[in-house]
Structure 1
């Protein structure tokens, strides 16, 4: 079934392959106040496509479902600009197709100086770090066009996978994956799932809560003073809120979360040099809703520190085939997934244009039956303009659980440093 070999850039690595089946695009959506120059927006996106040629590449599958990164073909699809409601994120005005290109820009105007601009990038070629870099460069190009600053575009090389970067640094698979705390036997009834027919495109927009800047700053300061990472503090609060709403009593929970390896590899990897650069770390704990959140945070932080020091996280990606896709031999069913993408940078915009909000969404271009068990619940964490945001996927009673999350995070922000 596969095409001319001259079209093939490479076969996707396991860290990239797991996003092929559903055609998963990760979206970064910003609310914009002010007058947006449509011509400048289209020119800026065209410049982005020239600067990062991988976004014009394509992904196709062979008969076994293996994904291939292919070189661009045909004319690029430009930015889509439509009118409509900007309070919510919807499917883009242009049909998203991995067989056409791997990034799309969608702008919606309300007609009252309010806009929503969303960049969708295929998750196989862009994780959080790469996505934010693309969005940052887009707004930089837009600002230059509006301010009549000449744009210099230097095309980037195609980014490589985490597996490639690990191999270049002599990292090899160890005896343990690092996922042992959340690993379960694969059911004997599990059978290969054929590629099959896909459903229409769908968008997942997490429910979310936000803390104000003051509360967020107090949580950061608390972590610094009490020897727990901010990620550890937030993770502990999320687990405690989840335990309180699902059980109300001490309950064993297993968590799995990505760790960006760009700054942890030597030499470090620039944002656009890697596709999905996240190793995975796991932990398990008896989570008591009435227990000490600080002790749990310190436990989580200590485990991550130990797994990084021993190199377990660095080589975790080399075990992905055992846990994801048709060759998996283990299950990760039922874990709590927590993705913390950190602080979102302030994007450069021209005078009179303000980015007032930022959301992470997911688009499945061709959803199909899953090849593996999913997380019991997924938390998304990031900070925008100094405000901590927690999003939630995969639970029916999202409002109630998010209320519990807000309560625990607010209590954490009010905690005295010396207690």
Structure 2
């Protein structure tokens, strides 16, 4: 045993466990224009680590590859990494990212002409999209505090002021809980339906993978290919959704399904997408109070039923509304052991995965500093052979600074054309549609 028993917090739950096998970190990255104070950013990251102690915790695995969450013990926290390079690239850090050491890392790449890239990596087992955005926003809050206080000669010890403000805001947060624990606390138990039935395929139970025989590959970074609509095109998508009383998520999902159906020629298309349950639980849960607080929604349609974008978007919205009302979105996570890991009995392989994180807030920054781009990336610190379902293609959707971004991972032979096809679907207006069918 490589850890002390008193350091053990708990065994990770299935919603968290599925990110242990590959040591998956989810990254939030921005390009920066203006003079960046590297020392200030390092101080801000140190403050983030103090106030959110889950970031300096660790994850280790037992012989059966069960992830175990540990307190940091006697291991000192790793600070921000600062180096010179090319800010247009999102890189694999030269230093080791080890979940057995800590669960968040900050990589800062500086360049001439006051350009930089800042990427916060957080282990996906302890933070989902909502949690990561909250952490990233806090980082820039702390950095801005540092710079603004440093400009005031009355504050002699800036780092100390940032770390322990008089308002009491410096109190460390509680450790976030798993969705399973939060559901149990609210009396929600596993039922018969998972909500994933529309995309489920039968699977013979897999044989457990021996922890002794596992092999690990070098760290791997996944940076989605992406397109960004300009502010005018983005506003047009929003107007289309409002005009037809459908959600933006339903509209984008419908565009993805239509594009995939047209390009693939498949008889049917199916998708799985996460639904943030924070505001849907009673009582609601704060952004940083849970680890992965998303259930999964599933939708399937025959290709013949995808011809009308708005009708399809409305069907997707109705399906989600019904699943939320029936409580099956919450149920999906309670059925995760049946879909993920070595003992799974069902498969959702071949589906379209779509994550829509919504509108990303404008991060606070000191005067003269512009955070002009935002990306979501993934890093597997030690990839291994998979034991779960594989999506045919994965889409990431978000809006930053008024621009809708659609990212893509995978897609096989269709990869080259998928993003343009989705953008084309979203560019249609009612007038365009009438003209095309005239």
Name the TM-score class by shorter chain. Answer: over 0.9
Choose the corresponding residue for 2:377, options 332, 357, 361.
Answer: 361
1:228 aligns with 2:229: no
C-alpha displacement at 1:97, in angstroms?
0.4
C-alpha displacement at 1:413, in angstroms?
8.9
> C-alpha separation between the residues in 2 aligned to 1:337 and 1:269?
25
1:203 aligns with 2:243: no
CA separation of 1:363 and 1:108: change in aligned 2, threshold 3 A: same
1:54 aligns with 2:54: yes
Runs of at least 5 residues in structure 1 that lack an aligned partner in the other structure: none
- Asked whether the 8 Å contact 2:340–2:389 carries over to 1, the reply is no
- Asked whether the 8 Å contact 1:202–1:365 carries over to 2, the reply is yes
Which structure 1 residue ranges, 4+ long, deviate > 6 Å from structure 2? 413-417
1:177 aligned residue: 194
1:343 aligns with 2:359: yes
Aligned residue for 1:316, secondary structure, equals: helix
1:42 aligned residue: 42
> C-alpha separation between the residues in 1 aligned to 2:20 and 2:352?
23
1:119 aligned residue: 120
1:300 aligns with 2:319: no
2:106 aligned residue: 105
TM-score, length of structure 1 as denominator length: 0.96
TM-score, length of structure 2 as denominator length: 0.91
CA separation of 1:307 and 1:4: change in aligned 2, threshold 3 A: same
CA separation of 1:41 and 1:183: change in aligned 2, threshold 3 A: same
Give 1 or 2 for the bigger CA radius of gyration: 2
1:213 aligns with 2:213: no
1:403 aligns with 2:420: yes
2:27 aligned residue: 27
- Aligned pairs, how many? 415
Could you list the per-position Cα deviations for residues 85-135 of structure 1 after superposition, in whole angstroms to 9, with x for gaps in the alignment? 111101023210000000000010121211000000000000000000000
Residue range with higher mean Cα deviation, 270-279 or 150-159: 150-159
- Asked whether the 8 Å contact 1:30–1:356 carries over to 2, the reply is yes
Runs of at least 5 residues in structure 2 that lack an aligned partner in the other structure: 151-160
**Matches for 1:87-106 after TM superposition, within 5 Å:** 87-106=88-107
> C-alpha separation between the residues in 1 aligned to 2:310 and 2:398?
20
- Asked whether the 8 Å contact 2:257–2:306 carries over to 1, the reply is no
Aligned residue for 2:119, secondary structure, equals: strand
Coordinate RMSD, CA, aligned: 1.8
C-alpha displacement at 1:401, in angstroms?
1.4
Could you list the per-position Cα deviations for residues 14-37 of structure 1 after superposition, in whole angstroms to 9, with x for gaps in the alignment? 000000000000000101000100
**Matches for 1:204-283 after TM superposition, within 5 Å:** 204-247=222-265, 251-283=267-299
